[in-house]
Amino acid sequence: MILGLSYLDILVLVLYFGVIVYIGIRSSLKIKKEEDYFLGGRQFGKLFSTFASFGQATSADGPAGVATTTFKNGASGIWSSLLMLFATPLFWITAPWLRRLRITTMGDFYEQRYASRKMAATYALVGTIGMMGLLSVGYKAVTTTALAMTGKPASELTATEKIEKEKADRLFELSNENFTYLSQAEKQELAELRQENPRALFSYFSEDVLIWTICFIVLFYTAMGGLEAAFYTDLLQGIFIILLSIILIPFAWSAINEQFGGSGMMDALSNLHEQLPESTFEIFGSPATLDFTWYFIVMAALVSGMTVVAQPNQLVTAGAAKSEDAARTGFVTGTFMKRIVTILWGMVGLCAILLYGGKIMNSDFVWGHATTQLLAPLGLGLVGLMLASLMAALMSTADCLMITVSGLVVNNFYKYFFPEKSARHYIWAARISGAIFLIGAAIITTQFDTILQILKFIWEFFVVFVAAFWLGLKWRRANRISAWSSILLTFTLFYLIPTLLPNIFPAMRTDESLTKLTNSRIVTRNYEVKEVDLDNRIHDIAQWEKLPQSEKEQISKPEELALGGTNAVDYAMPRQAIFWSKGVTTEKDGTSYGRGYIYLELYLLDSLGWDLSKNPYALNETIRLGIRLLFPFLVLFLIALATKPDSDNHLAEFYRKMRTRAVDNSILKNQPTTEKLLFPNSNWEIYTWNKKDRTGFLLACLIVILIIGLLYLMVSLGS
pLDDT in tens, 139-188: 777 777 778 777 788 788 888 888 888 888 888 777 767 777 778 888 88
Give the pLDDT score at 94.
87
Q: Is the pLDDT confidence value at 42 over 50?
A: no
Report the alpha-carbon distance of residue 217 to residue 230 in Å, rounded: 13
CB 48 within 8 A of CB 269: no
Q: Please classify residue 640 by burial: count the beta carbons closer than 10 Å to its beta carbon, then call 0-12 exposed, 13-18 middle and 19+ buried.
A: buried
pTM of the model: 0.79
Report the alpha-carbon distance of residue 67 to residue 398 in Å, rounded: 21
CB 278 within 8 A of CB 526: no
Q: Is there a domain that residue 327 lies in? A: yes
H-helix or E-strand containing 266? helix 264-275
- Which distant-in-sequence residues (6+ apart) come within 8 Å of 294 by Cβ? 284
Residue 285's pLDDT band, with cuts at 50, 70 and 90, is low
Q: Is there a domain that residue 181 lies in? A: no
Q: Is the pLDDT confidence value at 55 over 80?
A: no
Q: Is there a domain that residue 663 lies in? A: no
Residue 2's pLDDT band, with cuts at 50, 70 and 90, is low
Q: Is the pLDDT confidence value at 543 over 50?
A: yes
Q: Is the pLDDT confidence value at 556 over 70?
A: yes
Report the alpha-carbon distance of residue 598 to residue 659 in Å, rounded: 43
Mean of pLDDT values over 464-470: 94
Q: Is the pLDDT confidence value at 457 over 70?
A: no
Give the pLDDT score at 40.
45
Q: Is there a domain that residue 632 lies in? A: no
Q: Is the pLDDT confidence value at 505 over 70?
A: yes
Q: Quick count: other Cβ atoms within 10 Å of Cβ 630?
A: 12
Q: Is there a domain that residue 529 lies in? A: no
What is the rounded radius of gyration, in angstroms, for the C-alpha atoms of the chain? 27
Mean of pLDDT values over 640-651: 90
Report the alpha-carbon distance of residue 536 to residue 542 in Å, rounded: 10
What residues form DSSP beta bridges with 364? none
Q: Is there a domain that residue 591 lies in? A: no
Report the alpha-carbon distance of residue 634 to residue 626 in Å, rounded: 12
Report the alpha-carbon distance of residue 337 to residue 50 in Å, rounded: 9
Give the pLDDT score at 449.
52
Looking at the chain, the whole-number percentage of residues with pLDDT higher than 90 is 17
390: CATH: 1.20.1730.10
Q: Is the pLDDT confidence value at 49 over 80?
A: no
Q: Is the pLDDT confidence value at 644 over 70?
A: yes
Give the pLDDT score at 549.
85
Residue 232's pLDDT band, with cuts at 50, 70 and 90, is low
Length of the chain: 719
Give the pLDDT score at 319.
65
Give the pLDDT score at 229.
59
Identify the three-state secondary structure at position 320.
coil
Mean of pLDDT values over 686-703: 93
Q: Is there a domain that residue 703 lies in? A: no
Q: Quick count: other Cβ atoms within 10 Å of Cβ 592?
A: 18
Identify the three-state secondary structure at position 586.
strand
CB 260 within 8 A of CB 275: yes
User: pLDDT averaged over the chain?
Assistant: 80
DSSP state for residue 338 in the 8-state scheme = H
Give the pLDDT score at 379.
78
Picking from 441, 439, 588, 580, the residue whose alpha carbon sits closest to that of residue 517 is 580
Mean of pLDDT values over 492-505: 92
CB 378 within 8 A of CB 308: no
Report the alpha-carbon distance of residue 526 to residue 569 in Å, rounded: 6
Give the pLDDT score at 287.
60
Instruction: Report which of residues 509 and 524 the model is more confident about.
Output: 509
Q: Is there a domain that residue 579 lies in? A: no
Mean of pLDDT values over 42-71: 63
Amino acid at 683: N
Instruction: Report which of residues 249 and 529 the model is more confident about.
Output: 249
Mean of pLDDT values over 440-469: 74
How large is the greatest C-alpha to C-alpha distance in the chain, in angstroms? 91
Report the alpha-carbon distance of residue 409 to residue 397 in Å, rounded: 18
How many domains does one find in the chain? 1
Residue 35's pLDDT band, with cuts at 50, 70 and 90, is very low
* Domain containing residue 123: 7-151+203-479
- Which distant-in-sequence residues (6+ apart) come within 8 Å of 610 by Cβ? none
Q: Is the pLDDT confidence value at 46 over 90?
A: no
